[in-house]
Amino acid sequence: MKMSINRHLPMPDTNAWPAFTLAWDDHQPGPTDVSYLLDRPAGATGFIKIVDGHLATGDGRRWRMWGQHLVRSQALPPMDLAPVIAGRLAKFGINCMRLHAIDFHWPDGILMRHTESSRSLDPEGLARLDWMVKCLKDQGIYVDMNLHVARRFSAADGIITGESAGWGKPVLYFDDWMITLQKEYARQLLHHLNPFTGHRYNEEPAVALIEITNENSLSEHWQAGWLRGTLAGRKDNWGDIHKVYADELDRRWNAWLARKYERREALGEAWAGDLREYEDPKQGSVRRLSPAEFTSASAGRFQDEAAFYSGIEQSFFREMCAFLRGELGAQQLILGSADHNAGWNGLPMVMANAALDVTDSHFYWQHPIAGKTFVNTPMVDQPDHCAIAHLSRGAVEGYPHLCSEVNEPFPNDSAAEYIPILAAYARLQDWDGVVFYDYHPWPGSYWQEQPWSETYQHYWFDIGDNPVKMAQTALGALMFLRGDAQTARQTIERRLPRAWALEGVRQRGSDDLRPYWIPHLPGRLALVHRTRIVDLAAAQLAPAEGEVMLPADRIASDTGELVWEVAAGDGRVLIDTPRQQAIIGRAGARATRHLAVALQTPFAAVQLASLDEHPIALARRLLLVTGARIANTDQTWGDDARQEPADWGHAPTRIEPVVATLTLRGLAEARRVTAQPLDGHGQPYGESVTLPQTSEGFVLRLGDLPASPWYLVQVERGVD
């Protein structure tokens, strides 16, 4: 993939930018409060269910998930802070929190403290979790309960390989004892009675979803060469497995072949002779392929092994689902795992997940490399490889589709592009959920009070202290939950022969095939039409080459509301719906129906939304959100390309002022328009200004106002 050039060098003196922080404990009513989008309490009409292939409330109304993450101890805050945190989340329109990686030992999670064993739960951790869930529920915020994320298995748990098992990826798919441990944990958590709600978690309607395991795939490990059994030390997340588990896979592989092929001769024929003399399933001697052998392996051999791994995943999901629903009586929807790695073919994971209720995808634009550096380029320059393209590949017709882990990292120069683009195109694609990662950083002592009030950006992904992304979250809630953009008028159905889906695992990192693993179907498809997989065992590949025609330079959605303009080093996105409009990209002059922007700031997202049920043309109150770069005080870089932060800096957070001339056009019968900066509580501060009127409309010069990520625009009309 050709990367666009970062045109924003050199970095300015960010300490000269004005300080602007959002109050961590804010839940004051005001123009930025969109909590009215939430129904209180969560689960009031019953459990989230599936109606016509989409999420719905207990009374059958369509429900969409607009959320963020509470990771590790964030889900276990001091009990006096929990209502405040929940109130703030609701104010920004967040209606679901993914409770992620709570399977750490206290104080980072709910596993019992002061023990190597992970087989019991901590009473204080559970009490804090219970109260947090109660506070979220009261505010109309559901939870997505993750079971396995980062539990570290050990010898004290009876694991034969001891601490080398780490988080159990991907062994928990097939090791009988690890599966038993997972069931034990699920029983302890889901049968636990929350005294504050009066429900056990298996019967709690405010729990929208149960996820079995996070970002975990046998097929991915196979493709990466991590099923060979060479692990010599401790394992955390990714990497090879222990020989004990590789031997178990060998045993299962040969048994699988022996069941499928009664005679060795039949196996040899199916594999076109790709069988060595010593290999015989009945002798347990058929080896598994290493990635180095992928190219030379016969189609029969390769597809059999790919089907073997996908089958293990699907069998595990079915077993866990039967246990959760049957023995534990869980009434929630169940998700297996997510299609999460854009560099490999996720179709086997999609196939396995189709055994359950919901499909899910994860995608980060320019995810940090090894947690140290990132590629500092805008997504607007890469329509065929953008988040929308990759997230759309795992959506299956008839299943609700979630995007439960998405973000563009701070301090990418173009990070302000991500939330407005995701919100608008998620509506175009008719997805059921968008969940941004994460509210606060993965590490952190959030069981204590002090970290909650720290108002600066801690690392790549935290959103809660990012004034631009949080302001955009509120407008995103209007777009996604209120429904400001239309669903695409046409659906492009993707039909994939099973052999095609399995063969794609060979071709890791092929730009010609991504994101759909169909060479003639580029990612921009998702910017024009709704797309779904409708058949993973089709007779032939569809759509056929030449069947779908897509634009080259001006990629307009089939609704006409969303336009992704392609230009070398100057891509941009225009959102033009009746109630919300936006211009996202580099400096220059762009316009929608009601918003013309002459931008001087190197890169920014400028959004305008109606705050009532009327379209912008008739609304009396509008919220203007402007976002560019942010920085911590004294933040520095380790390289001129700004791909590696040297010092993250400290509070307060500073925002790059968006310098632009805006013209508000087509405001019916408007006789006076004012703009008012809003502070970190979303409350008016400073003086409001009356916008001069020209023949084009009402003109607002942002550089003349105090810098803020949001402004209240009020319109007085001739009929007022």
Write the CA distances from 272 to 276, 287, 290, 678, integer angstroms.
11, 16, 19, 70
Question: How would you class 535 by CB atoms within 10 Å of its CB: exposed for 0-12, middle for 13-18, buried for 19 or more?
Answer: middle
Q: Work out the average pLDDT over 359-388.
A: 93
The predicted pLDDT at position 344 comes to 85
Q: What pLDDT digit, counting tens, does each position of 72-98 carry?
A: 999 999 999 999 999 999 999 999 999
Q: What pLDDT digit, counting tens, does each position of 96-107 carry?
A: 999 999 999 999
Query: Beta strands of 195-320 (E only): which ranges?
Result: 199-200, 207-213
Are the beta carbons of 604 and 658 closer than 8 angstroms? yes
Are the beta carbons of 235 and 167 closer than 8 angstroms? yes
Write the CA distances from 372 to 156, 386, 634, integer angstroms.
34, 22, 19
Strand bridging mode 595-610 / 698-701 = unpaired
225 pLDDT above the threshold of 50: yes
Alpha carbon 309 to its chain's center:
25
Q: Please tell me which residue, 515 or 11, carries the higher pLDDT value.
A: 515
Q: What pLDDT digit, counting tens, does each position of 273-312 carry?
A: 999 999 999 999 999 999 999 999 999 999 999 999 999 9
pLDDT confidence bin for 384, thresholds 50/70/90? very high
Question: How would you class 280 by CB atoms within 10 Å of its CB: exposed for 0-12, middle for 13-18, buried for 19 or more?
Answer: middle
Write the CA distances from 310 to 243, 278, 314, 533, integer angstroms.
21, 26, 6, 17
The predicted pLDDT at position 236 comes to 67
The predicted pLDDT at position 4 comes to 44
Helical spans, DSSP H, in 65-217: 82-91, 123-138, 176-190
Are the beta carbons of 335 and 355 closer than 8 angstroms? no
Q: Work out the average pLDDT over 395-420.
A: 96
499's CB contacts (< 8 A; 6+ apart) are: 299, 303
Q: What pLDDT digit, counting tens, does each position of 419-436 carry?
A: 999 999 999 999 999 999
Give residue limits of the domains in the chain. 48-236+310-483, 254-302, 491-553, 578-717
Write the CA distances from 477 to 86, 99, 230, 423, 659, integer angstroms.
16, 20, 47, 8, 26
Q: Work out the average pLDDT over 688-708.
A: 95
Question: What angle do the packed helices 299-322 and 176-190 form, to 10 degrees?
Answer: 30
Write the CA distances from 420 to 70, 344, 468, 556, 677, integer angstroms.
22, 27, 11, 16, 21
Query: Which DSSP helix (H) or strand (E) runs through 267?
Result: helix 264-270
Of 194, 185, 233, nearest in space to 213 by CA? 185
CA-CA distance, 66 to 648, in Å (whole number)? Answer: 29
Q: What pLDDT digit, counting tens, does each position of 34-50 carry?
A: 999 999 999 999 999 99
Q: What pLDDT digit, counting tens, does each position of 473-503 carry?
A: 999 999 999 999 999 999 999 999 999 999 9
Share of the chain above pLDDT 70, in %: 98
Residue 636 pairs with which residues in a beta bridge? 647
Write down the residue that tokens 């790549």 correspond to: 460
Q: Work out the average pLDDT over 502-522.
A: 84
Listing DSSP states for 67-109 in one string gives EEEEEGGGGS--TTTHHHHHHHHHHTT--EEEEES--SBTTTS
How many Cα atoms are found within 13 Å in the side-chain-facing hemisphere of 107? 9
315's CB contacts (< 8 A; 6+ apart) are: none
What is the value of pTM for the model shown?
0.96
**Mean predicted lDDT score pLDDT of the chain:** 95
Nearest 5°: phi and psi at 360? Answer: -150, 145
Alpha carbon 521 to its chain's center:
23
Please give the CATH number for the structural domain made up of 48-236+310-483. 3.20.20.80
Are the beta carbons of 201 and 223 closer than 8 angstroms? no
The predicted pLDDT at position 645 comes to 83
Nearest 5°: phi and psi at 312? Answer: -60, -45
32's CB contacts (< 8 A; 6+ apart) are: 91, 92, 471, 474, 623, 678, 682, 710
Burial 614-635 (b: 16+ CB within 10 A, else e): ebbbbbeebbbbbbbbbbbeeb
Write down the residue that tokens 């276990």 correspond to: 76
213 pLDDT above the threshold of 80: yes
Write the CA distances from 108 to 128, 436, 624, integer angstroms.
12, 21, 38
Residue 501 one-letter amino acid? A
Write the CA distances from 712 to 91, 305, 679, 694, 718, integer angstroms.
16, 59, 11, 21, 20
Share of the chain above pLDDT 90, in %: 88
